[in-house]
Amino acid sequence: MTTPDKNKETETVLHDKKSLPILPYLIIVYTICVLLIDLLITFNIHFLFSWGILNFSLSDVLFKIPFLKNYPYLTLFENFDLYKFLFWLIIPFILFNNFIDFRWWLFKRWKKQDYIAFLIFSLLCLSSLIFVLLSPTLRMYYPGIGTLPLKIKFLFFSQQLFWVVSWLPGWEFLNRHLLLRACREISRDFGWFFVVVVETLYHIYKAMLEVFGMFLFSIVACIWSQKRENNLMAFFCHFAIELGLILILLIT
């Protein structure tokens, strides 16, 4: 039988393993690098390397498989971004597994007031989508397909949904969990703001209204995630925004 002192000693060893002094800095460097490379891929920058060659989707891979290449449903995965899926979620999950606190992804820590806060924040996030309809700049950036046939709308919805699935879990995991916890290890009081800066700068090439919206969302999401040590509210609110945007594009 394991004694209480032995259990305490084991927990201490595990905690020290998760808190290696260099690990938070490695996570910060990794996050900045993969986000920067993603921007290089997005704009197909030719600097040291033709970065656009890394812009491939799940359908590009599946079409290479002989017995799958003739199936038309593979076009559903045309927007599934494999770079984001691998480098924002799968690879950091493997590399920094010892730094992950899986309790941040459970509802067990939620209290009644957290559900109320979640409802209010979700409604605020969804209401912010009205600016997509009101802002000429955002309307140009997000053109609707309301006049197109139902079949095309279904394909569009499916492709966009798989696109969100390819990047959103990784975005929240990499930034709001690994990076946030790494920055908190370095500075518990102000480290969270570095995540806000990173997320905002990543969106800097978009319309300023969207950049400002990302800035506000990141502040609230990081503060709540750090205070409650939980990532679920930010993830579901972010997902609600993306789903709401898809629906707006379908009807306008």
Delimit the domains of the chain by residue range. 22-251
Instruction: Kindly report, residue by residue over 27-86, the tens digit of the pLDDT.
Output: 999 999 999 999 999 999 988 889 999 998 999 898 888 877 777 788 899 999 999 999
pLDDT (0 to 100) of residue 143 = 92
| Matching residue, tokens 């209010």 | 120
pLDDT (0 to 100) of residue 19 = 57
pLDDT (0 to 100) of residue 16 = 40
Give the closest residue to 166 by CA, choosing from 86, 242, 227: 86
With beta carbons less than 8 A apart as the criterion, state whether 104 and 18 touch. no
Rounded distance between C-alpha atoms, residue 195 and residue 211, angstroms: 14
Give the closest residue to 145 by CA, choosing from 153, 157, 134, 154: 153
With beta carbons less than 8 A apart as the criterion, state whether 198 and 175 touch. yes
Rounded distance between C-alpha atoms, residue 226 and residue 217, angstroms: 14
Phi-psi region for residue 47, left (φ > 0), alpha (ψ -120 to 50) or beta? Answer: beta
**Per-residue tens of pLDDT for the chain, all 252 residues:** 444 444 443 443 444 444 578 999 999 999 999 999 999 999 999 888 899 999 989 998 988 888 777 777 888 999 999 999 999 999 999 999 999 999 999 998 899 999 999 999 999 999 999 999 999 999 999 999 999 999 999 999 999 999 999 999 999 999 999 999 999 999 999 999 999 999 999 999 999 999 999 999 999 999 999 999 999 999 999 999 999 999 999 999
| Helix boundaries (H) for the chain | 4-18, 23-42, 58-62, 82-84, 91-95, 112-127, 130-134, 136-141, 150-171, 180-186, 192-202, 208-228, 232-251
Strand, coil or helix: 46: strand
Distance of alpha carbon 229 from the chain centroid? 17
